[in-house]
């Protein structure tokens, strides 16, 4: 596909280079000053000022700390949204970087500092050529991607309306792909993420007289094992489901039959129909086995992030542009979804779009995985993101 704009790949790369120094400074500033979900006050004030100075229309206070910038191109065209997430994680940084987090136990360990800086760079580059842009670009900076569903709150606050968004794009740095490669996949890219907390209640008693109590640990162990049969016996083997129990709490002494056992965990699926079915199977098995083992079950099941479902058209469009910009060898067509999850999925439930992985794996800070205290992606990855944002806006 030829670029139909007068912009050649070289022109796009030099536009990217013209903002790159700014972007590196911003990234390091965000990295030094990480903020947890819905507390991104410093980050959003930097974004607000930066976008205002560029002459964009700026909306603040979306989903508490979210910021939106709107750039009106001077040609007719669609409304395209680009989204970055701003929040950090409760992790004590151990990267040894000169611009390490100044805060105890808060760190940008998921690359959201890079996502935010990169999108600001794209806003700067595009504001310099707005007479060439066909349509309107919405720059969405959302809070609280980690666990708190900031994306859902942004959608509820009508971020995709006024003007109505036609398509949305977002990036995530991805340590499973080498630096310089970009991963694309249409259809399900990332799994849904639901969670549960279950309390089983039996009857306490003396450790020497099990028959006089109802043992929540023995019964709970059977139930926990039984739950895995949802995957091994009730799910199509070529469909993927993960059921992980991450905590189990019970008992108060070695010679006491415990009255209660509580466990918490998460379920991941890549098909919505599987997601709905597994939620029902989960309750059925606990209630049924609980009854058999004389345990009362209190089940709290929470639907979290949906499946991140990429649209074919936007994925193909972006991967063709990326190939023009970076060559065929930079493009990876991913075969399988990741069982991790993303709240970008909430936008994709409303409008078509593509979530794209930017490879950062190297033998330094990109050798560590997301959420690791030593994860430090090479900031040159931002050049790929900015150039691709520019091409998407122009095309
Ligand atoms: Zn994360
Ligand atoms: Zn992330």
- Specify whether 252 is located in the same domain as 202: yes
- Specify whether 184 is located in the same domain as 197: no
Cα(318)–Cα(314) distance, rounded to whole angstroms? 6
- Specify whether 100 is located in the same domain as 166: yes
Cα(355)–Cα(72) distance, rounded to whole angstroms? 23
pLDDT of residue 2: 45
Look-up: residue for tokens 């078509």? 352
Residue 381 predicted with pLDDT over 80? yes
CA of 146 to the centre of ligand 2 (A): 7
Helix (H) or strand (E) holding 88: none
pLDDT of residue 288: 97
Ligand number, closest to the Cα atom of 146:
1
CA of 329 to the centre of ligand 2 (A): 25
Residue 72 predicted with pLDDT over 70? yes
Give the tens place of pLDDT for each residue, 156-197. 999 999 999 999 999 999 999 999 999 999 999 999 999 999
Residue 291 lies in a domain: yes
CA of 140 to the centre of ligand 2 (A): 15
- Specify whether 70 is located in the same domain as 115: yes
Contacts of residue 67, Cβ cutoff 8 Å, sequence gap at least 6: 44, 47, 48, 51, 58, 59, 60, 141
Q: Which two tokens stand for residue 257?
A: 């039959």
Closest CA to 286 of 197, 226, 203, 196: 226
Q: Residue 7 — very low, low, confident or very high, per pLDDT cuts 50/70/90?
A: confident
Residue 295 lies in a domain: yes
- Ramachandran region of residue 62, left (φ > 0), alpha (ψ -120 to 50) or beta? beta
Percent of the chain having pLDDT more than 70?
98
CA of 103 to the centre of ligand 1 (A): 18
Ligand number, closest to the Cα atom of 174:
2
CA of 343 to the centre of ligand 1 (A): 10
How many domains is the chain built from?
A: 2
CA of 93 to the centre of ligand 1 (A): 14
pLDDT of residue 252: 95
- Specify whether 108 is located in the same domain as 18: yes
Residue 4 lies in a domain: no
- Specify whether 232 is located in the same domain as 334: no
Q: Residue 24 — very low, low, confident or very high, per pLDDT cuts 50/70/90?
A: very high
pTM above 0.85, yes or no: yes
pLDDT of residue 286: 98
Cβ atoms of 68 and 138 closer than 8 Å? yes
Give the tens place of pLDDT for each residue, 211-231. 999 999 999 999 999 999 999
- Specify whether 125 is located in the same domain as 86: yes
CATH number for the domain spanning 121: value is 3.40.630.10
Q: Residue 4 — very low, low, confident or very high, per pLDDT cuts 50/70/90?
A: low
Residue 249 lies in a domain: yes
- Specify whether 109 is located in the same domain as 227: no
Query: To the nearest whole number, what is the mean pLDDT of the chain?
Result: 96
- Specify whether 210 is located in the same domain as 64: no
CA of 204 to the centre of ligand 2 (A): 44
Ligand number, closest to the Cα atom of 369:
1
CA of 205 to the centre of ligand 2 (A): 47
């Amino acid at each position: 596909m030829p670029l139909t704009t007068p912009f050649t790949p070289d022109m796009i790369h030099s536009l990217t280079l013209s903002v790159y120094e700014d972007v590196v400074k911003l990234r390091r500033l965000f990295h030094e000053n990480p903020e947890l979900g819905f507390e991104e006050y410093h980050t959003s004030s930097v974004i607000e000022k930066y976008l205002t100075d560029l002459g964009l229309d700026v909306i603040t206070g979306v989903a508490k700390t979210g910021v939106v910038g709107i750039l009106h191109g001077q040609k007719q065209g669609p409304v395209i949204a680009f989204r970055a997430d701003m929040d950090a994680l409760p992790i004590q940084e151990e990267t040894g970087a000169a611009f390490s987090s100044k805060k105890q136990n808060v760190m940008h360990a998921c690359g959201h500092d890079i996502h935010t800086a990169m999108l600001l760079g794209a806003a700067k580059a595009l504001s310099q050529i707005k007479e060439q842009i066909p349509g309107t670009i919405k720059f969405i900076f959302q809070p609280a991607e980690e666990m708190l569903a900031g994306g859902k709150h942004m959608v509820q606050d009508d971020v995709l309306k006024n003007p109505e968004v036609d398509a949305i794009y977002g990036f995530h740095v991805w340590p499973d792909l080498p630096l310089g490669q970009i991963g694309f996949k249409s259809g399900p890219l990332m799994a849904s993420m639901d969670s549960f907390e279950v309390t089983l209640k039996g009857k306490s008693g003396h450790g020497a007289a099990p028959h006089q109590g109802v043992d929540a640990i023995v019964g709970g162990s059977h139930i926990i094992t039984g739950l895995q049969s949802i995957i091994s016996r009730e799910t199509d083997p070529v469909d993927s489901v993960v059921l992980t129990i991450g905590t189990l709490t019970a008992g108060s002494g070695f010679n006491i039959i415990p009255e209660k056992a509580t466990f918490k965990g998460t379920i991941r699926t890549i098909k919505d129909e599987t997601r709905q079915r597994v939620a029902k199977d989960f309750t059925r098995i606990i209630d049924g086995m609980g009854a058999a083992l004389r345990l009362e079950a209190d089940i709290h099941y929470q639907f979290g992030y949906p499946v991140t479902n990429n649209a074919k058209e936007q994925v193909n469009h972006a991967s063709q542009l990326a190939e023009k910009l970076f060559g065929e060898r930079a493009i990876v067509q991913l075969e399988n979804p990741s069982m991790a999850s993303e709240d970008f999925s909430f936008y994709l439930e409303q409008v078509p779009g593509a979530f794209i992985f930017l490879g950062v794996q190297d033998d330094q800070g990109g050798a560590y995985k997301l959420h690791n205290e030593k994860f430090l992606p090479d900031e040159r990855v931002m050049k790929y993101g900015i150039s691709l944002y520019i091409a998407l806006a122009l095309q």
